[in-house]
Amino acid sequence: MSETNTIQITEQDLSQTKHAPIPAAMHSTTNTNSAAASKPSTSNGVARAEVRMGRADNESGIIWVTSIFMVIFHVGAIAALFFFSWWNLLFAFVLYVLAINCGIGMGYHRLLVHRGYTVPKWIEYFLSVCGTLSLEGGPIAWVATHRVHHQHSDKGGDPHTPQEGTWWAHMGWIVTGQALNAQTSALAHYAPDLAKDRFHVWLSKYHWVPLTALAVAILAIGTLVGGVKVAVGLMLWGIFLRVTLGLHATWLVNSATHIHGTRRFETRDESRNSWWVALVTGGEGWHNNHHAYPVSARHGLAWYEFDPNYYGIWILQKLGLAKQVKVAKFTSRDPDETGQRGTHMTTL
């Protein structure tokens, strides 16, 4: 392990700059002035329209297809409780880790959005496929939406800020906002790295295929091994209940961690650190830490801040599969000590 790049940043510096650097694909994330943010960007002198995702620009009434699927999955989640078994619970837990921890936390968020570390393409693609198992859309739409969130965090244009309503921030933007999943070209400005990758373009278009294939496999194998009742139980727990819980866990990062919790850093948004959201998301709940240092692959900066998603990245790094792992570190052991606290970004 070698330290190749270190930037010393104190809290006093942070209170002035508010945001750490973010990937090139998010070059305008520090722009929080609504009027300025609404101006079209330019590339080689050509004006480029900006996608506006705030409630005022995006709310369009109930999206019936999305809403019907949400109802079906929630009903299925309730039905799963009548098919409890320890095997079903274990099966759902394993798929939850693959979809939410590996797919969303390690893959979509810390790797694709912020490029907090690098891995071989086959691992990147595997994590992306895992991400589709969460029913949160394809990589291009997810990445673009999150980068826009950082650009306009808790300001006009933020796709899911509680400043425009807690319900809107949690899931209203999903069931009543305009569907942008299929608009790859419109979102390419925020995810140009993925829009140039054929696999990510294909996966973004057919993001429903891996989850559908998994469901079919569960029904087929479950029926062959244990009969129809076993197959139905595995399906309800492994697909419906697991997906529903995973969706709400992710949505809590959008809603709860911008309302409840503690603020270690004075960022320009309302991000908070929430231990209980971190618990159900594998460390994504240390949201104030994340907004202070978006590129950091580690969100739990203190030793007591539970961050399994980073532990997974750490394991990959120890195996030689993850490189250029960027982490934010405190110069003191306990970042909550009184006095001025120094912080630095390190590339491992």
What are the boundaries of each domain within the chain?
A: 5-29+57-347
Is the confidence at residue 6, as pLDDT, over 90?
Answer: no
For all residues of the chain together, what is the average pLDDT?
84
Tens of pLDDT, residues 13-72? 333 333 333 344 343 333 333 333 334 444 443 334 566 788 877 788 898 999 999 999
Pairwise CA distance, residues 111 & 143, whole Å: 10
Pairwise CA distance, residues 333 & 302, whole Å: 8
Q: How many CB atoms lie within 10 A of CB 340?
A: 10
Q: Which phi-psi region, left, alpha or beta, contains residue 227 (left: φ > 0; alpha: ψ -120 to 50)?
A: left
Q: Do 180 and 53 form a contact (C-beta atoms < 8 A)?
A: yes
Find the range with the poorest average confidence among 11-20, 104-113, 150-159, 221-230. 11-20
Region 285-296: mean pLDDT is: 96
Find the range with the poorest average confidence among 1-5, 72-76, 218-222, 328-332. 1-5
Tens of pLDDT, residues 124-134? 999 999 999 99
Region 77-86: mean pLDDT is: 98
DSSP structure class, residue 265: S
Pairwise CA distance, residues 265 & 72, whole Å: 40
Q: Which two tokens stand for residue 4?
A: 């190749």
Pairwise CA distance, residues 219 & 273, whole Å: 40
Pairwise CA distance, residues 139 & 126, whole Å: 12
Task: Report pLDDT for 18.
Answer: 38
Q: Which of 160, 171, 169 is nearest to 69 (CA)?
A: 171
Task: Give the DSSP per-residue string, 113-134.
Answer: IT--SB--HHHHHHHHHHHHTT
Question: To which residue do tokens 């980068």 refer?
Answer: 147
Pairwise CA distance, residues 321 & 128, whole Å: 16
Interacting residues of 154 by C-beta distance below 8 A, sequence separation 6+ = 161, 162, 163, 258, 268, 269, 270, 271
CA distances from 261 to 22, 55, 258 (A): 24, 24, 8
Q: What residue type is assigned to position 348 of the chain?
A: L
Region 80-98: mean pLDDT is: 98
Q: Which two tokens stand for residue 205?
A: 């278009």
**In terms of pLDDT, which residue wins out, 62 or 215?**
215
Task: Give the DSSP per-residue string, 312-332.
Answer: HHHHHHHTTS-BS-EEEEESS
